[in-house]
Structure 1
Amino acid sequence: MIKDIFFDQVKPAYGCTEPIAVALSTATAKKYLNETLEDLKEINITLDKNTYKNGLVVNIPGTNIFGLEIAAALGYLCGIPEKGLEVLKDVNSQCLSKATNLKNKIKIEINDMPYLYVETIAVSKDNHTVKILIEGKHDNIAKITIDSNTILDKPFNPSKTTLENIKKYSIDEIIDYVENPDKEVLDYVEKAIEMNIDIAKYGMQMKGNFSNAAINEYVKYVSAGVDARMSGVLKPVMTVAGSGNQGLSCILPIATKREEYDKEKILKATLLSILVTIYIKAYTGLLTPICGAGSISAAGSAAGLTYLKGGNRQQIKNAINDTIGTLFGLTCDGAKRGCALKAVTGTLTAIQVSELAINNIDVPCGNGIVAKDVEETIRRVGKLTNSVKQFDKDVLDYIGKC
């Protein structure tokens, strides 16, 4: 059911979700190893290249520090694994001080796994070990092994995830659901709007924030929200398909028009934006070489904005097609403050495309990757995204180097 997919893919998180996945793994390891900093020998972490890429230069919540080692250390020392993606909600200065010392005991390597992969092995000085494996999704703890005893084993199958289930639906069927959604889904959308507006307002007060360059109020919210999140502001963001920046970019362009439209219309338009974003991510994968906030969620918000303005189904599909045709190829070179500017690019395109769609102006099929049927365009995006995986390896040579 679409409702189940929605709740699986729309969750609150503190901080960038890739380092948070690392923090969740070390927090879980601490829960079972139960060793103090003094009695801990080492923590060895293996990551897929995309998780590694997105954790290199993004600030960790509640700190002015970036890096996967500090995320891992904070998770071990003060993370609460039961909170999931909010694992670092209670980070404080005392914990941060200790984490700086723990960094020296943490080693990180990368592998070639094609999906999100976080393997943490914590070793005590008396050589007890705890192995935690997170696979496929940022909060999916797939395996827990204490010494040689496996107490949890849920093998990850990429073809049998909740995210994959949305491929069973067409865009028309998604719009059908948006027209008659479950009440609890709309209530949750309202919560998502309030949460993401809150961090955006905070971001606008930050010195030197990127929103100062935004050309209108709607774009300013998106820029400020992403900037605040990437800067490590200790506030939650409602994520969409594993990404807070996607959540901000597909929710805020519509949510900021609350004064212009009735509440139900805003909630339904936002829901459509969220579901279209999830739909596209099902084809590209959660972590990809393509920028989610700047291109994929822009297609979602273009659909939502077109719906909000009274657009018909074909106009909504055209808006998705045209956004993809415009922005596909905008790459992801890691999570960072500069993501705010990519999100602005996506939002501006979504606003423009929705106006064109309402006026029945669209990119003809055959122009680039744009197909007649929007579902085919999205499938092409998935295929092409998976064909440029080498980018993720090569870009690691440059991230963090001036």
Structure 2
Amino acid sequence: MDKKELMTKILKKEIVKALGCTEVGLIGYTIALCKPENPYEIEKINLTLDKGTFKNAFSVGVPNTNGFGILPAVVGGLLGDAEKRLLIFDGIEYSKELEGYIKDRLKIDVVDGDIYCKVVIKTKNGETKSTVIKGSHLNTKEEDEELKNAFKSLGLSDFLEYIEDIPKEVEDIILETIETNKELAKSEYLKLGNDELSYIVEKTTSACYERMKGTNKPAMAIAGSGNMGIMATMPIIAYHEINKGKDIERLIKSLTLSALVTIYATYHSSYISSMCGCVNRGGLGALCGLCYYIHGNDTNKITEAVKSFTANLVGIICDGGKIGCALKLASGCFAVYSSLFAEVPPNNGIVGKTFEECVKNISRIGHAMKPVDDEIINILKNKK
């Protein structure tokens, strides 16, 4: 498989439409895969989640349920159509009565590891059904790992070469991403002013806020995260809008570069981590895409911007999906925008000499922060 074919395959795999936080979607989808025909026949549901899925689902809004957290995600899965996968909550008619019935029959365990969601449902007639999804939100296969490792061997020059001749099927995905994510950005969650940066912050945070409160509108997730997809796209889309951009081809190239960088950074780290991926990985993608939009195919400009970004917000924690994520994305927007105008030499902190070295150093910090999740989980479990 040549590099272009590899990147096309990865983009098609990692940019997907999701309704609500992808972790509650994962829970709902896994439940739907093994649910009984009559949910009131359920005697017990054992739900086992990795730490990242638990924390991301703990406080987030679930579309079409008027609820927040894991319980409405489980109930939504019992009411949803498994064929819709990460759009599982689309069109459901929620039942508070069923929620009350399931509440005392649901047991949740949390385990170490990457994405993991196991459901075991026992019914009153003695039947047991179970399903496991692991490695990614839609299951990881051996082929996926091979693709992932091959993609990790690429670099910035490969991505810049790819976006100069984007396949039509990828262009269509990017156009759908623009329209889908713009639909989420129509409120004014954080209105700061009328300047360029304020508009970028407003549009990006509005989309995130709507998604985290459970608005019934999908987002285009990138590398397993809708918020990461929003962070990787909305700053560039907002910049294009406020500057009355007419070059849609340039916008598509910029967003494709952002997606490639976001996925690359995620593969070097993980889908869910102790470090906020929306800021550190989606932000890195947005920075590269925005720098390309402004300066064109200038490797030096993009690399210098990445060095400045690496010196800034790396290490900001992920304490789960929630409305407050919108404020983290605001910080990400400031970091992206300011990095376009600053220069930080590679002898500063964890800043690397190249784009690839910066990504790997950020990833190392993310892996070193894994114990932070234990304390975050303990805090969440002790909430009343």
Pairwise TM-score range, normalised by the shorter structure: over 0.9
Partner of 1:80: 81
Aligned counterparts, 1:7-156, within 5 A: 7-30=12-35, 34-76=36-78, 78-93=79-94, 95-112=95-112, 114-140=113-139
Q: Pick which of 257-266 and 169-178 moved more.
A: 257-266
| C-alpha spacing 1:83/1:165, structure 2 compared with 1 (3 Å) | farther
Partner of 2:245: 260
Partner of 2:323: 337
SS of the residue aligned with 1:290? coil
Unaligned runs of 5+ in 1: 143-155
Compute the displacement of 1:39 (Å). Answer: 1.5
Task: Tell me which amino acid in the other structure corresponds to 1:240.
Answer: I
| C-alpha spacing 1:126/1:248, structure 2 compared with 1 (3 Å) | same
| C-alpha spacing 1:106/1:158, structure 2 compared with 1 (3 Å) | farther
Distance in 1 separating the partners of 2:349 and 2:143 = 29
Distance in 1 separating the partners of 2:30 and 2:307 = 38
Q: Deviations over 1:61-116 (max 9, x none)?
A: 1233112122112101x1111111111111224x454234222221111111x200
Distance in 1 separating the partners of 2:374 and 2:246 = 45
Task: Tell me which amino acid in the other structure corresponds to 1:62.
Answer: N
Distance in 2 separating the partners of 1:319 and 1:58 = 33
SS of the residue aligned with 1:212? coil
Aligned length: 371
Partner of 2:336: 350
Partner of 1:369: 350
Contact 2:62 2:73 in 1 (8 A): yes
Task: Tell me which amino acid in the other structure corresponds to 2:62.
Answer: I
1:221 lines up with 2:207 in the alignment: no
Contact 1:48 1:118 in 2 (8 A): yes
Compute the displacement of 1:213 (Å). Answer: 4.2
| C-alpha spacing 1:164/1:84, structure 2 compared with 1 (3 Å) | farther
Distance in 2 separating the partners of 1:168 and 1:327 = 25
Q: Give the TM-score of the pair, scaled to structure 1.
A: 0.88
Distance in 2 separating the partners of 1:309 and 1:62 = 39
Task: Tell me which amino acid in the other structure corresponds to 2:57.
Answer: G
Counting aligned pairs with the same residue, the percent is 30
RMSD: 1.8
Partner of 1:152: none
Task: Tell me which amino acid in the other structure corresponds to 1:75.
Answer: G
Contact 1:136 1:158 in 2 (8 A): no
Distance in 1 separating the partners of 2:66 and 2:143 = 35
Partner of 1:271: 256
Compute the displacement of 1:384 (Å). Answer: 2.1
Q: Give the TM-score of the pair, scaled to structure 2.
A: 0.92
Q: Deviations over 1:298-332 (max 9, x none)?
A: 11111111100124111112222221221111110
Task: Tell me which amino acid in the other structure corresponds to 1:364.
Answer: P
Contact 1:16 1:335 in 2 (8 A): yes
Q: Pick which of 333-342 and 97-106 moved more.
A: 97-106
Distance in 1 separating the partners of 2:120 and 2:185 = 37
Contact 2:192 2:198 in 1 (8 A): no
Task: Tell me which amino acid in the other structure corresponds to 2:125.
Answer: D
SS of the residue aligned with 1:216? helix
Distance in 1 separating the partners of 2:202 and 2:130 = 43
SS of the residue aligned with 1:326? coil
1:394 lines up with 2:375 in the alignment: yes
| C-alpha spacing 1:129/1:5, structure 2 compared with 1 (3 Å) | same
2:221 to 239, 246, 249: 239
Task: Tell me which amino acid in the other structure corresponds to 2:320.
Answer: G
Distance in 1 separating the partners of 2:22 and 2:375 = 22
Unaligned runs of 5+ in 2: 1-5
Partner of 1:148: none
SS of the residue aligned with 2:126? coil
Q: Deviations over 1:236-266 (max 9, x none)?
A: 0000111010111110111121422411001
Task: Tell me which amino acid in the other structure corresponds to 1:22.
Answer: I
Compute the displacement of 1:197 (Å). Answer: 0.4
